[in-house]
Structure 1
Amino acid sequence: MTTVREDDGVTTLLGFRSPAAWVVVVVNVLGVIVSTAWTLDGIRQPAVVAVALVLHAASVVLLVRVPGDPLPFRTTAFITLYGPLASALVLFVLPVPIDNPLQPWPTTAAVGVYTFLCVRGRTPWAWAGLVAIFAVTITWSTLTGQGPLTGFLIVLPNVALVLMGSFFAYALRTPVADIFRLRLAGTRQAADQAASRAVLDERDAQLTRLDVLARPLLSRIASGEPLSDEERIRCQLLEHHLRDSVRAKGLDIDEVHSAAREARSRGVDVLLFDDRGETDTTVHRDIVAAVIDALHGSASSVTVRLRPGDQDVAASIVVTTADGVEHWEFDRSGTRLSS
């Protein structure tokens, strides 16, 4: 049988996850309880019947509410064993001959559960449970002197239900699994397309930004005329700006760029690094403020490094002044640690 995702498959299609499924569970259990109440005449130990009812209720709840497609092994084993066990509990406390044809109710109730066990992708287990119920019922009828045929005929009409569940599972489960697989593939394709569009949009934005920043100077250089000292400085500042945008994406902030440009214009050696990778692009505002303060200071060099996410220190700033070197570190909350 084809395996699909835990939250998909026939169970989703039939609404097993919906509130209506609880209504079905309650109606089924109450119906079995009410019908069983009319079959207690002549039963020697009614408490045993109550145990069988509890087993039935637990099986129905597990069948509907436990996720997974096909149904998980432990749940499947419990539901399969419930049928012959409940049948044995009830049959061996019934009067012989039975007073009411509804008294061997576990044989019918369990087979109803087995029908949906087929739908949950466990058809062989459903048939195994039915065979076990046949064995228990025939054994009971034989030991009580009624003959094996009596027990066989009690269970025989229920074979049609398991046959119906098997056909339903065969006819529906594979197409439904294919439908959900195609839906999952479509979702993944849409996500890939969205990611590709985002990459293209980012590329276009960067090209537009580069065009605005670099085109005037590139046009000036292409003219062939010698550059003035001011224009050479502008080229150097633009080079640093573009380098910062590549190797310090987390600091690709207008305020930081402005402060770095001003510092470099004063002759400060500014180095910005982001070692965190592409997935982490946010920086705590207190760290950004500290970087801007360092760039606005009277340093001769400023080196800023954003650390990888697996380290306790989020960022470090090394500032060189005429009085010496200062080393600042910041944790993930933006709090400045001891220098």
Structure 2
Amino acid sequence: MLTLPTRLWWRQSPRNDASTIMGMQTSAAVALGLVIWAVSVVLGFAAGGVLNPLLYVGAMLVLLVAAGVLLGAPRDPVAMWATLFIVFAPPLAITIAIPGLAHRPGLAYGTLTGMSIIVTAFLAVRGRTVAAWLGYGLGLAVALLADAFAGPQPALIGAQAPNLAVLLMATIFAAIVRPRARQIYALRGETERETALRSAEEATLAVRDQQLSRLDDGARPLLDRIAAGGRLDRSELQRCRLVEAQLRDRIRAPGFDSPGVANAAWRARARGVRVLLLDDFDVAVGMPDSVALRAVVDRVVAVLADAEDGDEVTARLLPRGRSRLATVSVARNDGVVRLEFDASGRETSIETQS
């Protein structure tokens, strides 16, 4: 199926193929292509035999555009729309140039067919070997037809002969290098996946160690005090309740598990505020947008800081797929205030109920 590119070629993601190994996706390759084209045009004019400069330059411009398409076209093998253009560029360029060149124009036909074979040879490297041979065959067919119907074309026919060896070498090179390129990038992909998995495991272990450290700091002194026997005083009982509530928060609301929320919830509960944190987002599958979650967390911290004795604060991350990300409600004697947050973390509504 013929599909056109949806993004400009210079914004395409890097290709993982043999062309990358050869540096065809670099600015240096573009610069080298322009230099080769410019030198070919100058040599063609310097050799003599160019009767119509506009036709000759026009033919070379067709090949220049084909080279640009070859360097920038997406996918591996190269996209079909680019393949078709490159296949027909050499015969089109030769057809345009023939009326503007003498039958024995020195290097003009050599530079023209030389640019043609460069384009078709690298088309083979980019995975379209059959199309590259088709492009060469069409160019040769145009040369033979011109020789038969427009008078003898010894320079044009002679310039086509060495190109056969160039395309043959490009075909052999593609057959050897392309499978190796796929293996190289397959190994690279596997290495990147293993690295990402290792990083995720290290991050999980780091979080676990952090959680254990926080648990140890909060619970160990109380556990040691309980193990020592004796009655706990009022402040120690209060601290036990606060530690238990904090541990429950980490289990029920991992999305809210941050030092800011933990400290704000601890202080609010110490003042007599009832705090309930819930996380229904299923963070095991993935976390919400970090910026949006940060905005919600900051608002929760502010609400907890303003809560007074007897208030009830409930913060909840909603299930994945909802139009809203989170809700925060504050219940007090004079009514209930409900805050809602959209997927970007923006506060969308404030509802007050008496």
Q: Which residue is 1:121 aligned to?
A: 127
Relative distance call for 1:52 and 1:257 in structure 2 (3 A) is closer
Distance 2:339 2:50 in 1: 88
Among 291, 300, 306, the residue aligned to 2:303:
291
2:116 and 2:240 map into 1 onto residues whose CA distance is 83
* 1:58-137 map, 5 Å: 58-95=65-102, 98-105=103-110, 106-137=112-143
Q: Taking structure 1 as reference, are residues 53 and 255 closer, same or farther at Cα in structure 2, changes over 3 Å only?
A: closer
Q: Identity of paired residues, percent? A: 34
For structure 1, list consecutive stretches of 5 or more residues without a partner in the other structure. Answer: none
**Are the structure 2 counterparts of residues 24 and 159 from structure 1 closer, same or farther at C-alpha, using a change threshold of 3 Å?**
same
Residue of structure 1 equivalent to 2:4: none
Q: Secondary structure at the match of 2:139?
A: helix
How many Å apart are 1:57 and its aligned residue?
Answer: 1.4
Q: Give every structure 1 segment of 4 or more consecutive aligned residues whose post-TM-superposition deviation is greater than 6 Å.
A: none
Q: For the residues of structure 1 that align with 2:216 and 2:205, how far apart are their CA atoms?
A: 16
Match of 1:240 in 2: 245
Aligned counterparts of 1:255 and 1:151: Cα–Cα separation in 2: 79
Quick one: distance in 2 between partners of 1:49 and 1:315? 68
Greater C-alpha radius of gyration: 1
1:190 aligns with 2:195: yes
Q: If the length of structure 2 is used for normalisation, what is the TM-score?
A: 0.79
Q: 1:255 to 1:63 in 2, by over 3 A?
A: closer
Conserved 8 A contact 2:114-2:163: yes
The separation in 1 between residues aligned to 2:272 and 2:95, in whole angstroms, is 93
Number of positions where the alignment pairs a residue of Structure 1 with one of Structure 2: 330
Instruction: Say if 2:47 and 2:108, in contact at 8 Å, map to a contact too.
Output: yes
Give me the CA root mean square deviation: 3.2
Report matched runs for 1:186-225 at 5 Å.
Answer: 186-222=191-227
TM-score under structure 1 normalisation? Answer: 0.82
2:44 paired residue among 22, 36, 41: 36
Shift of 1:240: 1.1
Deviations 1:125-171 (A, max 9, x none): 11111111221111221223549x99755522221111111122122
